[in-house]
Structure 1
Amino acid sequence: MPVSDGSTGPGAKLTTGTWIRRFAGASLAYVFLYFAAGLMIIGQVQEFYDTQNMEVGAWFLPLQLCRGALYVASALYLLRNMRCTRWQASLATGFMFPILAGVAGLLSPNPIMPEAIRYWHILEIGWSNLVYGMLVGYLFWKPRQLRAGNREPVKAEPARA
């Protein structure tokens, strides 16, 4: 794990404690957003789930914490190597999470979930994972140039035709 060299700003190295706090905080943020998104659609899907005989066990909360941690871990390599601004990295991660981690699997009809329920879950997963991805992108972005010793922020290059 990195240790601090006493500098501050975008090029500063993060301490082990800072890494742990960010990682744990991001994992907790996932759980918060997961439940917030669920509460927003519960009125639309409650009747369906009442008929499903599903019970939530003691494993449920730890599972969601692990999911949040896995999201962070899966994005770290990408975020640490992006050559773009923090805002662009945050948006890229924000769009990556809902597409790869949920919405794509809900687009096709399936025998387990009726169409109306799938659409509500697309909305639920879409916004919560977008926000979560942007948070992860913001917290863990650090361009390669800064890690290599250059302390100047990276400027986004204009698109070329």
Structure 2
Amino acid sequence: MGGDGVGTDGPLTGPQAFLVVNLIHAAILSVIASRSALRGWRLAILVWMTLFFAQSFLLMMEAAYFRDSLQISTALLLEGCLHVLIGGAMIGAAVAMLWRVPAERSTFVPEPKTLPIRLAVIAALYVMCYFAAGYYIAWQVGDVRQYYSFGEDIALAPLLLFQVLRGVMWGFLAYLLVRNMVGSVSSRAVIVGMSFSVLAAAQLLYPNTIMPWEVRFPHLIEVGISNFVFGFAASKILLACRAEAAAVSSTDIVGQAT
């Protein structure tokens, strides 16, 4: 916590951000664990994967894509991924030990046969959320436009393909979460949206020398909103048909009983 970039750049100092961010992460992981249909090592793996991909890997992918423009070293990116890779495994093990009470069985899960089609739709949805939030929220701030002044030189087609790939990966993470949760479609969708929003955006509270607060704050709002909307909608897409099937089945049972 005493390294470069730890100061008062923003509303929180480094140690304050460390406490706040980890408390927020602990809260969302507690919700995931309490609503999960998994226990033991399976729950540990789910928590580890959620942390690693939502908090680190998928974000580091984008940082790596713009690495030369942002002047971020490869060593720094690898260090960040390794930190969450190891720390996430420890946190997953801790969660598995804390939540030992037998969980409910998931009432309905996404249809695996149509998963590729759903992931394709979700990837397109992610690209829409990414560019819409980026333009209508972050890009409206002068400091953000100045910080990303290199944006005019970025080739659009490769960037679109790259974001489609990230959208598929985000969609698959949503699939893992909703498939292993209990509760209604809407409650699962809210939890996934909150998870994607909080785990990706909260760490922007950390002071650093790479991205000033005047740029991080618009990004915090942008990522927080777009990831929640995307996670919520992606979960609805993944669970839509099974929810309808469950509703029809319940109606048939009631009809037979009467």
Shared fold (TM-score greater than 0.5)?
A: yes
1:22 aligns with 2:101: no
Change (3 A) 1:61 1:84: same
| Gap regions ≥5 residues in structure 1 | 1-9, 145-150, 154-161
The ranges of structure 1 where at least 4 consecutive aligned residues each deviate by more than 3 angstroms after the TM superposition are 10-16, 52-55
1:33 aligns with 2:129: yes
2:177 partner amino acid: L
Aligned residues with identical type, % of pairs:
31
Change (3 A) 1:53 1:79: closer
Deviation for aligned residue 1:61: 1.1
2:154 partner amino acid: V
> 1:94, 1:129 within 8 Å by CA — same for their partners in 2?
yes
Q: Deviations over 1:46-76 (max 9, x none)?
A: 12222x5784234311111011111111122
What is residue 63 of structure 2 aligned with on the other side? none
1:73 aligns with 2:182: no
1:106 partner amino acid: L
Report how many residues are paired. 136
- Which residue of 129, 137, 140 corresponds with 1:43? 140
What is residue 103 of structure 1 aligned with on the other side? 201
> 1:26, 1:69 within 8 Å by CA — same for their partners in 2?
yes
Change (3 A) 1:53 1:67: closer
C-alpha separation between the residues in 1 aligned to 2:110 and 2:206?
Answer: 44
> 1:23, 1:72 within 8 Å by CA — same for their partners in 2?
yes
What is residue 118 of structure 1 aligned with on the other side? 216
1:129 aligns with 2:233: no
C-alpha separation between the residues in 1 aligned to 2:162 and 2:177?
Answer: 24
C-alpha separation between the residues in 2 aligned to 1:77 and 1:89?
Answer: 12
- Which residue of 162, 181, 184 corresponds with 1:63? 162
Greater Cα radius of gyration, structure 1 or 2 = 2
